[in-house]
Amino acid sequence: MKIRVSSAQLRSIGIAIVTATIIIGFGWAMQFPQESSVTPTPTGTVSSAPTLPTPKPLPTVSAVPSVAPIASPSPIPSATPKAITKPSPDVKTLYGHLPYQEDDPSRLVSIGKYVRGTYERAESLDIEAAQAFQQMVTAAQAQGISLMPISGFRTIANQKELFDRQIQRRGSAEAAAQLSAPPGHSEHHTGYAIDIADQQQPDTDLKYSFEQTKAYQWLNANAYQFGFEQSFPKNNWQGVSNEPWHWRYVVSSRASQVFAVAKRGDLAN
């Protein structure tokens, strides 16, 4: 039996086949998303786009508990010492220098020697300051900086000799006091103060040019970590000349008691 198929029927069948192919193909494609449309996601991350959390409304001012002001019997002192030369009226100074007592000799320990050429002098500090100083020397050494003690603890008798020599040079006690503390008024009596040198720069010992040395730059950046501070920076409240070489240990409870008088002046001015 011969089946006759007209060209019109052939065209209809062809259209039907193409249409079916398109529909089936589309269904297939819908089941399996194309590779290019899948973004590979790293393990452990959320593949869906992150949604921003809805911002919470800010608490209203009334919801914040109010802090009762602390009653202060006296005006709050300024934390920044001002550049003045007049000490606080309740701190008795002599030419700007505060009174200090000699440290207990049994607390003094060696911190090494001041050595220049053939000259040598053994120096000591209170045990607390001595330990901190040794740690500081070691830390500086590790960075190529050589700190050397010039002068640590001094008795009142030592200081009298130094001061009398300055009076002879400068003509008066007032003039001498610009470079040296009168006996009984030196931080060196406490065992917590030390004059420091750059071992590599002998010409800067006890001179303003010490500020240009690597040792000073290092101290300025790091000494506080070991409990040391400059006693007489520029424009200190005591009006004592800037002494970049002179540092004091202040962080132990004993040291902070010793220097309470100096700190009170810092706060009062």
229 three-class SS: strand
Asked if 243 is an active-site residue, the reply is yes
Minimal distance in Å, beta carbon 243 to Zn ion?
6
Q: Between residues 25 and 123, which has the closer beta carbon with respect to Zn ion?
A: 123
Q: 162-179 burial, b if ≥16 CB within 10 A, otherwise e?
A: bbeebbeeeeeeeebbee
Phi, psi of 216 (to 5 degrees): -65, -45
| Alpha-carbon separation of residue 59 from 54, 56, 63, 68 (angstroms) | 15, 9, 6, 20
Q: Between residues 11 and 165, which has the closer beta carbon with respect to Zn ion?
A: 165
DSSP string for residues in 61-90: GGGSPPPPPPP-SSPPPPSS--S--PPPTT
Minimal distance in Å, beta carbon 58 to Zn ion?
56
Residue 45 one-letter amino acid: T
Q: Which residues lie near Zn ion (CB under 5 A)? A: 195, 246
Q: Between residues 7 and 166, which has the closer beta carbon with respect to Zn ion?
A: 166
State both tokens at 211.
């500020």
List all residues 6 or more positions away from 224 whose beta carbon is below 8 Å from its beta carbon. Answer: none
- Residues paired with residue 119 on neighbouring β-strands, in sequence order: 116
Q: Between residues 155 and 268, which has the closer beta carbon with respect to Zn ion?
A: 155
Minimal distance in Å, beta carbon 110 to Zn ion?
18
**Residue of minimal CB distance from Zn ion?**
246
Minimal distance in Å, beta carbon 94 to Zn ion?
16
Catalytic residue among 120, 161, 211, 243: 243
Which residues are the active-site residues? 243
